[in-house]
Chains A and B, each alone.
Chain A
Amino acid sequence: MSRRIKLHEIAHARAGDKGNTSNVSVWVFDPGDYPLVKEQLTAERIKAAYPDLIRGAIQRYTLDHLHGLNFVMQDALEGGVNTSLGLDSHGKSWSFLVLDLDVEIPDNRAG
């Protein structure tokens, strides 16, 4: 059996911007959660969740030894910090868009 939780419960993240490209790195608090996050948090998953915001391709890089994922999202900032009319024109809060996604964890997961 499994249950759904917010990624925010088991991982932390940081967003950065270069031009119209946003990157969000995601790090699990407990290395034991890394395999399930790596399996479930795919580039396709993020693209499907936010198609109107992340308009371009998403590339995922993995840093297995540090238990981290890096998502590089093209055409994700409404033109970029100097062009966007949005309030968060850097996309600083895009990290919490990713942390807002659900992941399924086994019921018998420790902690």
Chain B
Amino acid sequence: MLRLGCGAGFSSDRLEPAIDLAEKGALDYLVFETIGERTLAFGHRDRQLDPKRGYNPQLAARMRGTLAACKRNGTRIVTNMGVANVAAAAEVIVDVARAQGLSGVTVAAIEGDDVSDLIGPDTVLFDNHDKTVAEVGRPVVGANVYLGIDAIIPGLETGADVVITGRVADPAMFLSPLVHHYGWKRDDWQKLGQGTLVGHLMECGMQITGGYFADPGRKDVPRLAACGYPIAEVDEHGNCVITKLADAGGMVTPRTVKEQLLYEVHDPAAYLTPDVTADFSRATVQETGRDRVSVANGTGHKRPDKLKVTVGFDGGFFGEAGVSYAGPNATARAALARDILRERLARRPGFEALRIDLIGINSLHATAHGPRTESTDVRVHAALRSANRDDVATLLWEVESLLCCGPAAGGGYRGQITPSVITHSALIDRDAVRPSVKVLRA
């Protein structure tokens, strides 16, 4: 039985329960998954601002919290916290190891996901009505291919304590230890499909142990504040039990597992990864004990010939600003503030896409519903993305000015401007990709 733990399901995921897993999980592998479309864009943005950055901002904290325990317990770490700068990230891990007196710790850095040189003006973006890169009309800041087990396993084969990558298919970080440990054949699509199912269930961390789930009175989760990360006990066939530490909060039930089964899945019978076309459509989910759910009968078919690439473009600047109204007639005052902003800004060139929402009335679902409620606590929220930073600064200025020359009793202004990276997707030939592994020693 191989015990896999997940110590992060996204970039900003919690550290404390990951430390618990490293210390008490009796794990063979601890995986930190931290890249999404949004956070990969942030990585490129950070690296543009500082060539020594671009990896996960919590990398050092996570390593300080878990590396010593993992080394002590014989747990190997696999993580994509390298994001847009794997080489710099590997150095950070070495530095943490040395600072903690963990001499001899080895780090395998997997590179090759940066395929910027394979992307040209004529590259077609399949998620953007098949427009080309040139037609987007903005500079490319990075292009990363989803690497798979063929890139990660060579890192495991070096015996390294930590394997760090950039963009890889998330489930591949769990599938790789399984293939490496059990010696599954690279064309055993059934096992690769089931192993990918295990990875898919695990990759979002606490989304399978009660996170992203609780709905008070209808789906209550015990001790959500102390929610624990998941553990997968996986046998040589890939059959698994999803569980958690007994003393951790949260829960593992067929309902938490089923919601995660189709998270970010389109056709359940054809979940595409670099490693396999996985088929979850006949997967079985069975409760076998308290916080123990067995998952089996995932399968798969031949892997795709093309690999997916996320292409990042300079998106200019994103600005957002808000001001709040409360008490009697707050809804009308907020609506007036919104109308004033529109009148003052919307006719200026560059403000065509200006977005204004009324938080507390109808913001998240604003384009789905008309106004739905009156509220006595309403926030006007304005947002704009522009290549021209001055336009974004003007937005913040105009929102702040509402304090003095807007409706009565507007308060709580906040505003911020951040550099923006927008992303689209392309496909490239698998054979054009050349992953590499480099080992560093503390």
Residues of chain B lying within 8 A (CB to CB) of residue A23: 262, 264-266
Judged by a CB distance under 8 angstroms, whether A86 is at the interface is: yes
User: In the bound complex, do residue A17 and residue B264 qualify as a contact, i.e. CB atoms below 8 Å apart?
Assistant: yes
With contacts A53-B367, A65-B282 known, is A86 near B265, CB below 8 A? no
Cα distance, A90 to B283, chains bound together (Å) = 27
Find residues 179-223 in chain B having any chain A CB closer than 8 Å to their own CB.
212-213, 215, 218-219
User: In the bound complex, do residue B357 and residue A12 qualify as a contact, i.e. CB atoms below 8 Å apart?
Assistant: no
User: In the bound complex, do residue B260 and residue A14 qualify as a contact, i.e. CB atoms below 8 Å apart?
Assistant: yes
User: In the bound complex, do residue A52 and residue B368 qualify as a contact, i.e. CB atoms below 8 Å apart?
Assistant: yes
User: In the bound complex, do residue A68 and residue B258 qualify as a contact, i.e. CB atoms below 8 Å apart?
Assistant: yes
Judged by a CB distance under 8 angstroms, whether B34 is at the interface is: no
With contacts A14-B260, A14-B263, A19-B37 known, is A50 near B368, CB below 8 A? yes
User: In the bound complex, do residue A72 and residue B266 qualify as a contact, i.e. CB atoms below 8 Å apart?
Assistant: yes
With contacts A20-B127, A52-B367 known, is A81 near B259, CB below 8 A? no
Give a binary string over A62-82; 1 marks a CB under 8 Å from any B CB, 0 the rest.
010110101010000011111
Residues of chain B lying within 8 A (CB to CB) of residue A63: 262, 268, 281
Closest beta carbon of chain B to A86's beta carbon, Å: 7
With contacts A68-B258, A72-B266, A82-B37 known, is A87 near B282, CB below 8 A? no
Cα distance, A32 to B315, chains bound together (Å) = 49
Q: Which of B127, B258, B284, B383 contacts A19 (CB 8 A)?
A: B127
Judged by a CB distance under 8 angstroms, whether A88 is at the interface is: yes
Judged by a CB distance under 8 angstroms, whether B41 is at the interface is: yes
Judged by a CB distance under 8 angstroms, whether A40 is at the interface is: no
User: In the bound complex, do residue A80 and residue B266 qualify as a contact, i.e. CB atoms below 8 Å apart?
Assistant: no
Closest beta carbon of chain B to A93's beta carbon, Å: 5
Judged by a CB distance under 8 angstroms, whether B75 is at the interface is: no
Residues of chain A lying within 8 A (CB to CB) of residue B265: 16, 23, 25, 70
User: In the bound complex, do residue A14 and residue B384 qualify as a contact, i.e. CB atoms below 8 Å apart?
Assistant: no
Find residues 420-440 in chain B having any chain A CB closer than 8 Å to their own CB.
420-425
User: In the bound complex, do residue A53 and residue B365 qualify as a contact, i.e. CB atoms below 8 Å apart?
Assistant: yes
Residues of chain A lying within 8 A (CB to CB) of residue B425: 19
User: In the bound complex, do residue B264 and residue A12 qualify as a contact, i.e. CB atoms below 8 Å apart?
Assistant: no
User: In the bound complex, do residue B315 and residue A85 qualify as a contact, i.e. CB atoms below 8 Å apart?
Assistant: no
Closest beta carbon of chain B to A10's beta carbon, Å: 10
Closest beta carbon of chain A to B401's beta carbon, Å: 21
Residues of chain A lying within 8 A (CB to CB) of residue B353: 85
Residues of chain A lying within 8 A (CB to CB) of residue B213: 14
Closest to B267 in A: A61
Judged by a CB distance under 8 angstroms, whether B115 is at the interface is: no
Judged by a CB distance under 8 angstroms, whether A4 is at the interface is: no
Cα distance, A87 to B366, chains bound together (Å) = 10
Q: Which of B127, B260, B267, B366 contacts A86 (CB 8 A)?
A: B366
Judged by a CB distance under 8 angstroms, whether A34 is at the interface is: no
Residues of chain B lying within 8 A (CB to CB) of residue A49: 368
Cα distance, A1 to B264, chains bound together (Å) = 38
Closest to A68 in B: B258
Closest beta carbon of chain A to B17's beta carbon, Å: 21
Judged by a CB distance under 8 angstroms, whether B73 is at the interface is: no
Cα distance, A52 to B368, chains bound together (Å) = 6
Closest to A55 in B: B367
Cα distance, A81 to B310, chains bound together (Å) = 13
User: In the bound complex, do residue A25 and residue B365 qualify as a contact, i.e. CB atoms below 8 Å apart?
Assistant: no
Closest to A61 in B: B268
Residues of chain B lying within 8 A (CB to CB) of residue A90: 38
User: In the bound complex, do residue A25 and residue B263 qualify as a contact, i.e. CB atoms below 8 Å apart?
Assistant: yes
Cα distance, A27 to B385, chains bound together (Å) = 37
Judged by a CB distance under 8 angstroms, whether B306 is at the interface is: no
Residues of chain B lying within 8 A (CB to CB) of residue A52: 367-368
Find residues 240-276 in chain B having any chain A CB closer than 8 Å to their own CB.
255, 258-269
User: In the bound complex, do residue A16 and residue B263 qualify as a contact, i.e. CB atoms below 8 Å apart?
Assistant: yes
User: In the bound complex, do residue A85 and residue B385 qualify as a contact, i.e. CB atoms below 8 Å apart?
Assistant: yes
Residues of chain B lying within 8 A (CB to CB) of residue A65: 282, 284
Judged by a CB distance under 8 angstroms, whether A45 is at the interface is: no
Cα distance, A63 to B271, chains bound together (Å) = 14
Residues of chain A lying within 8 A (CB to CB) of residue B105: none
Judged by a CB distance under 8 angstroms, whether B359 is at the interface is: yes
User: In the bound complex, do residue A78 and residue B367 qualify as a contact, i.e. CB atoms below 8 Å apart?
Assistant: yes
Give a binary string over B99-131; 1 marks a CB under 8 Å from any A CB, 0 the rest.
000000000000000000000000000010000
Closest beta carbon of chain A to B362's beta carbon, Å: 11
Cα distance, A13 to B213, chains bound together (Å) = 9
Closest beta carbon of chain A to B442's beta carbon, Å: 36
Find residues 290-336 in chain B having any chain A CB closer than 8 Å to their own CB.
315
Cα distance, A55 to B192, chains bound together (Å) = 35
Judged by a CB distance under 8 angstroms, whether B3 is at the interface is: no
Instruction: List 12 A–B pairs whose Cβ atoms lie within 8 Å, in order of A's numbering.
Output: A17-B37, A17-B264, A25-B258, A59-B266, A81-B36, A82-B420, A85-B383, A85-B385, A86-B355, A88-B364, A90-B38, A93-B364
Q: A61-B266, A63-B268, A65-B284 given. 8 additional CB < 8 A pairs? A: A17-B37, A18-B37, A23-B266, A53-B365, A86-B357, A86-B367, A87-B364, A89-B38
Q: When A and B form their complex, which 10 residue pairs have the shortest distance between CB atoms, in order from nearest?
A: A16-B264, A85-B355, A25-B262, A14-B259, A53-B368, A19-B127, A85-B383, A88-B364, A16-B263, A50-B368
